[in-house]
Structure 1
């Protein structure tokens, strides 16, 4: 197994196609979308990819962004598209990916939202819930949307928990 952090601008079509296949398998409800492009809402700046024999088997996307937290501006590494190939689940690859993320985090804090169903995985990897939801901005319409269905979680010490969070864009 190998792990690499690849800037989005350097991702080739030959590397992107297997990522689309991985994401389609990992997120079957959005498979049609992921077969077309390898991100959901906000396009990542980097990909952290764990590969087996050159084939991606675990993945996450990272976008560094300045967000609003209460009346402060903070840089975070927004994390999304976290997945492991279903055939490789249960082998600790997600844990390995999270451990490597800590080493390469391009901001003081990692930031993500997740469903309650997978919240325990992130907590075991050191993520902490800091808010019950976030405000996002539809960059196409300017509409502000506040969502409380997925907890906001942070990796890193010193994040000002309990304050309103504005992602200032679409979620990862």
Structure 2
């Protein structure tokens, strides 16, 4: 396999060609269930400010994105990077590329500054992957705006994970989480 490169791209600077490459990556996986990928609101979720893109040669084979947001946890405001859009092309899986992307995302959050934690929600079956990347599961009620634009509140127990960036794990406040918008 050719060498893998990972680039960090600000959302505002995505070129039309790179948008098309990302659309091809996502649509290969999700088109049948969700339709065409939209970079401004991918499958109804919040868009990202920062995209980490993995390439093998010129081919885009992986992506993870994040967006800075202030959320509330209990009575405390917390500055997070909401992480989503983690995807590895089917022909590139099984090579630890996802872990490399997640570590690059952590590094980009740290370099950006002012981010206390990474934050994500996921399916139960991928929790072990994120745990292997250093993320910690939390238990909390979560409020957000659903993909169809409605307010939703999920009970404690769904997979929510955090990654200490500039704060220590013990400083994560207790209480319900309000994402103040759509999830990623």
TM-score (norm 1): 0.89
The 3-state SS of whatever aligns with 1:81 is strand
Q: Is the 8 A contact 2:137 2:159 kept in 1?
A: yes
Equivalent residue number for residue 93 of structure 2: 89
Q: Give the structure 2 partner of residue 170 of structure 1.
A: 182
Q: Is the 8 A contact 1:7 1:45 kept in 2?
A: yes
2:156 is the alignment partner of 1:153: no
Kindly indicate whether residue 13 of structure 2 is the aligned counterpart of residue 6 of structure 1: no
CA offsets 1:13-46 (integer angstroms, 9 cap, x no match): 1100010111122335545232xx1323111111
Separation in structure 2 between the aligned mates of residue 29 and residue 117 of structure 1, nearest angstrom: 21
Unaligned runs of 5+ in 2: none
Distance 1:139 1:15, change over 3 A: closer
Residue correspondences, number: 169
What residue number does 1:64 align with?
A: 68
Q: Report the RMSD for the aligned CA atoms in angstroms.
A: 2.1
2:26 aligns with one of 5, 23, 27:
23
SS at match of 1:118: helix
Separation in 1 of the partners of 2:94 and 2:55? 16
Which secondary structure state, in structure 2, belongs to the residue aligned with residue 150 of structure 1? coil
TM-score, normalised to structure 2's length?
A: 0.84
Unaligned stretches of 5+ in structure 1? none
- Partner secondary structure for residue 27 of structure 1: helix
| Conserved? CA contact 1:48–1:97, under 8 Å | yes
Say whether the 8 Å CA contact 2:140–2:177 is kept in structure 1: no
1:90 alignment partner, SS class: coil
Deviation at residue 137 of structure 1 after TM alignment: 3.2
Q: C-alpha separation between the residues in 1 aligned to 2:28 and 2:96?
A: 18
- 1:120 aligned residue: 128
Q: How far apart, CA to CA, are the structure 2 residues paired with 1:16 and 1:27?
A: 16
Choose 96-105 or 74-83, whichever is displaced more: 96-105
Is residue 136 of structure 1 aligned with residue 144 of structure 2?
Answer: yes
CA contact (8 A) 2:80 2:119 kept: yes
Q: Is the 8 A contact 1:130 1:161 kept in 2?
A: no
